[in-house]
Amino acid sequence: MGLLVEVCVLVVISIALRWSVSQNTYSGQSKPPMYGDYEAQRHWMEITLNLPVSDWYRNTTNNDLQYWGLDYPPLTAYHSKICGYIAQYINPDWVRLYKSRGYESYYHKLFMRYTVLVADFLIFLPAAVLFYLAQDQLDDKSMLFGLMVILLYPGLILIDYGHFQYNGISLGLAVLAVACLGSELQMIGAALFTLALNYKQMELYHAMPFFTFLLGKCFKAGPFKGLFELIKIGITVIITFLLCWSPFLTSVESAKQVLTRLFPFNRGLYEDKVASFWCSLSVLIKLKNILSQENLVLLCLSTTLLCLLPSSLHLLYKPTITNFKYALVNSSLVFFLFSFQVHEKSILIPAISVCMLANREPLTSIWFLSISTFSMLPLLVKDGLIIPYIGLSVMFLIACVYISQPFNNQKPDSLSTLKKINFIISMVGAILLTGASQFIIPPPQLPDLFPVLISSYSCAHFLFFLLYFHFAQIFGDEIDVDRKISKSTRVQTSKKQKSIKKEN
């Protein structure tokens, strides 16, 4: 009963923090003509509600793709349509074709914020709780710490409830999929991940670990049983895809139009000043001035695939759930750092992967999640979210470091001490850059000085984390988490057993 109460308290606190952030400004507020992501989500409700399915991804008289054209997979479109129906019922002006462009009001903002909260209620919050409750090998303290990390992670709260997006849906489905695979529910896990991929194509960042883990499990099962399992999983994935895409499979042209919108290779290498390798490299070498667009795409593709190999091959050879979780971090980080057309918000995908390792890597997870939030600072400043950013980040660090005290479980050796020192130095650097970006005016010839410094500083960290998590997966301890249960729990169990023997 005590554990259930603590879980409920954590969920309530996370909801309160989410709602407090939602009271702030959002992306593009009162900034015509394009506004921002808030308007994009509202516009998708307008388009999916008023136009036939065949026109959702097509440039027509009623659907100008240059004005926030739909560029997410079918599940996002269906979700937008459902929200559009509800919006129309409350106030038709919110989704009226053409006339609703740039619509802003207090009650509309309230409605939009509620749609995110309801989505979290239905998917992300249950997924996070179920993920950690399903790990019955963890003691209560480890489980609560991991749950706190994933529920209070500032980056996701600031983007979904401040900037405005629905990342909790795809990330929640992915977390549920991992929980299912950890419980040997391969078919359900495969279906859930397919749904996540069909909500946001950025879940491709996680695709390789899911594929290699399931394939590796089939190999380990033996030739006949393994082949049967592989066929079942394959059929599950195909059926799920067909159900999601059926309205767009009426012709090759229709399906091609959707794919063109989902993978716009005609866009740039990255968006704004993102903490990717290519963006940081551009400070020294302007690749777009050297290579053609086609060659840039090939460079990103080959680099990404090459960097995916070590983690993927290791997981294929040793498909344990622990290696799978590490591989999710490694794969998503590789995609974020080296793939084409990366957005700053895409760091949320590796961040949620790290959240699922929080009980195993307490200090490293706190460090990574703090830097991942910091890497989005230029975007958050643009959205007027600097105060929520500082408040949430400080609260997150206090809750993780001082209340839960995850470092106490680590042996006081030179390596852990060095890690703590580097963590403190890293946080001091982030604080100094945050302060400088707010109080120091950059020289006129370097207007993007601080966004570049922040992205480069963050990128250096992500490269370090990429090496660290690869090392942890490939050369780390192969023992399960249940062997890391606190000694106190074991001692208490041993004492109880001895007491029972004496009584008998």
Q: What is the pLDDT of residue 413?
A: 66
Whether the pTM exceeds 0.85: the reply is yes
Q: Which residues contact 75 (CB under 8 A, 6 or more apart)?
A: 195, 198, 199, 244
For 281, the token pair is: 């490299």
Q: What is the pLDDT of residue 136?
A: 77
**Whole-angstrom distance, CA of residue 311 vs CA of residue 3:** 36
User: 286 to each of 275, 281, 291, 444, 499, how far by Cα in Å?
Assistant: 16, 8, 9, 21, 71
Q: How far apart are CA 297 and CA 134, in angstroms?
A: 40
The predicted structure's pLDDT at residue 497: 44
Measured between alpha carbons, how far is 159 from 435 in angstroms, rounded to an integer? 21
All structural domains of the chain with their residue ranges: 105-475
Angle, CA 455 vertex, CA 449 and CA 461 arms, to 5°: 135
Q: Which residue has the tokens 């910091």?
A: 374
Q: Which two tokens stand for residue 409?
A: 């479980």
Q: Report pLDDT for 409.
A: 53
The C-alpha angle 357, 162, 18, rounded to 5 degrees, equals: 60
Phi–psi pair at 330, nearest 5 degrees: -65, -45
pLDDT tens digit at each of 504 positions of the chain:
588 899 999 999 999 999 999 999 999 999 999 999 999 999 999 999 999 999 999 999 999 999 999 999 999 999 999 999 999 999 999 999 999 999 999 999 999 999 999 999 999 999 999 999 988 778 888 899 999 999 999 999 999 999 999 999 999 999 999 999 999 999 999 999 999 999 999 999 999 999 999 999 999 998 899 999 999 999 999 999 999 999 999 999 999 999 999 998 877 787 778 999 999 999 999 888 899 889 999 999 999 999 999 999 999 999 999 999 999 999 999 999 999 989 999 999 999 999 999 999 999 999 999 999 999 999 999 999 999 999 999 999 999 877 666 445 555 667 778 888 999 999 999 999 999 999 999 999 999 999 999 999 999 999 999 999 999 999 986 444 333 433 444 334 444 444 444 444
**pLDDT confidence of residue 489:** 41
- Catalogue the long-range contacts made by 234-243 (C-beta closer than 8 Å, 24 or more residues apart): 236/187, 236/190, 236/191, 236/194, 237/190, 237/191, 237/194, 240/190, 240/191, 240/194, 240/195, 240/198, 241/194, 241/198
Contact 174, 131 (CB under 8 A): no
Question: Quick one: pLDDT at residue 266?
Answer: 79
Pinpoint the alpha helices (H) of 23-105: 37-50, 74-90
Give the pLDDT score at 481: 38
Residue 349 near residue 339 (C-beta atoms within 8 A)? no
The pLDDT of residue 403: 67
At 412 the pLDDT is: 62
**Cα angle vertex 101, ends 110, 342, to 5°?**
80
Compute the distance between CA of residue 227 and CA of residue 498 in angstroms, rounded to an integer: 48
* SS3 annotation, 332-400: HHHHHHHCCCECHHHHHHHHHHHHCCCCCCHHHHHHHHHHHHHHCHHHHHHCCCHHHHHHHHHHHHHHH
User: What amino acid occupies position 154?
Assistant: P
